[in-house]
Structure 1
Amino acid sequence: MPEAAGTLAENAPAKVNLHLHVTGRRPDGYHLLDSLVVFAGAADRVTAAPGEGLTLSIEGPEAGGLAAEPDNLVLRAARLLAEAAGRDLPGVALRLEKRLPVASGIGGGSADAAAALRVLDRFWDLRMEATRLEALALRLGADVPVCLASRPALMRGIGEVLAPAPALPGFGMVLANPRVAVATPAIFRARQGGFSPAATLPERWADAAGLAAGLSALRNDLEPPAVALCPPVAEVLAALRALPGALMARMSGSGATCFALFADAGAAERAAGQLPGGWWRWGGAVRHG
Structure 2
Amino acid sequence: MSAIRGRSITVRAPGKINVFFRVGALQSDGYHDVASLYQAVSLFEEVTAAPSDGFSVRFTGPIDGGALPTDDTNLAIRAARLLAERTGYAGGVDLTVFKWVPIAGGMGGGSADAAATLVACDELWGTELGRSGLLPLAAELGADVPFALEGGTAVGTGRGDELSPALAKGTFHWVLALSEAGLSTPVVYRALDRHRDAHLRDLGRQPDQVKVDTAVLQAVRVGDADSLAEAMHNDLQVAALKLAPELTELLELGESRGARAGIVSGSGPTVAFLVGDAQEAAELRSVLSRAGVRALTVTGPVAGARIL
TM superposition score normalised by structure 1: 0.88
Question: Is the deviation greater in 176-185 or in 43-52?
Answer: 43-52
Q: CA deviation at 1:75?
A: 1.0
Q: CA deviation at 1:119?
A: 1.4
Take 1:279 and 1:100, find their aligned partners in 2: how far apart are those partners?
A: 16
Pairs within 5 Å for 1:242-253: 242-244=256-258, 246-253=259-266
What's the CA shift string for 1:96-135, capped at 9, x where partnerless?
Answer: 0112221111111111111111111111122215444222
Q: Which has the higher contact order (CA 8 A, sep 6+)?
A: 2
2:277 to 264, 272, 277: 264
Take 2:278 and 2:7, find their aligned partners in 1: how far apart are those partners?
A: 34
Question: Is the deviation greater in 201-210 or in 110-119?
Answer: 201-210
Q: Unaligned 5+ residue runs, structure 2?
A: 1-5, 197-204, 304-308
Equivalent residue number for residue 90 of structure 2: 88
Take 1:17 and 1:148, find their aligned partners in 2: how far apart are those partners?
A: 16
DSSP 3-state at the match of 1:276: helix
1:240 to 250, 254, 259: 254
Take 1:88 and 1:232, find their aligned partners in 2: how far apart are those partners?
A: 49
What's the CA shift string for 1:137-193, capped at 9, x where partnerless?
Answer: 122112212111122100111012111113233221111122111111111111133
Take 2:137 and 2:43, find their aligned partners in 1: how far apart are those partners?
A: 25
How many percent identity over aligned positions?
37
DSSP 3-state at the match of 2:221: coil
Q: Is 1:124–2:135 an aligned residue pair?
A: no
Task: Flag the structure with higher helix content.
Answer: 2
2:268 to 255, 271, 275: 255
Equivalent residue number for residue 195 of structure 1: 206
Take 1:24 and 1:226, find their aligned partners in 2: how far apart are those partners?
A: 18
> 8 Å contact 1:65–1:102 — kept in the other structure?
no
> 8 Å contact 1:63–1:99 — kept in the other structure?
no
Equivalent residue number for residue 171 of structure 1: 172
Pairwise CA RMSD: 2.2
1:75 to 70, 74, 77: 77
Question: Is the deviation greater in 99-108 or in 65-74?
Answer: 65-74
Q: Is 1:214–2:227 an aligned residue pair?
A: no
DSSP 3-state at the match of 1:260: strand
Amino acid at match of 1:195: Q
Q: Is 1:144–2:145 an aligned residue pair?
A: yes
Amino acid at match of 2:227: G
Take 1:186 and 1:28, find their aligned partners in 2: how far apart are those partners?
A: 16
> 8 Å contact 1:60–1:98 — kept in the other structure?
yes
> 8 Å contact 1:63–1:97 — kept in the other structure?
no
Question: Is the deviation greater in 226-235 or in 24-33?
Answer: 24-33
The number of residue pairs the alignment matches comes to 280
DSSP 3-state at the match of 1:275: helix
Q: CA deviation at 1:281?
A: 2.0
Take 1:281 and 1:100, find their aligned partners in 2: how far apart are those partners?
A: 12
Amino acid at match of 1:250: I
Q: CA deviation at 1:7?
A: 2.4
Change (3 A) 1:228 1:43: same
Q: CA deviation at 1:271?
A: 2.3
Take 1:46 and 1:288, find their aligned partners in 2: how far apart are those partners?
A: 17
TM superposition score normalised by structure 2: 0.83
Take 1:84 and 1:264, find their aligned partners in 2: how far apart are those partners?
A: 45
Change (3 A) 1:243 1:8: farther
> 8 Å contact 1:178–1:236 — kept in the other structure?
no
What's the CA shift string for 1:248-272, capped at 9, x where partnerless?
Answer: 1111101100101112234324422
DSSP 3-state at the match of 2:288: coil
Q: CA deviation at 1:55?
A: 2.4
DSSP 3-state at the match of 2:80: helix
Take 2:42 and 2:183, find their aligned partners in 1: how far apart are those partners?
A: 22
Equivalent residue number for residue 225 of structure 1: 239
Take 1:205 and 1:240, find their aligned partners in 2: how far apart are those partners?
A: 25
> 8 Å contact 2:183–2:268 — kept in the other structure?
yes
Change (3 A) 1:68 1:50: closer
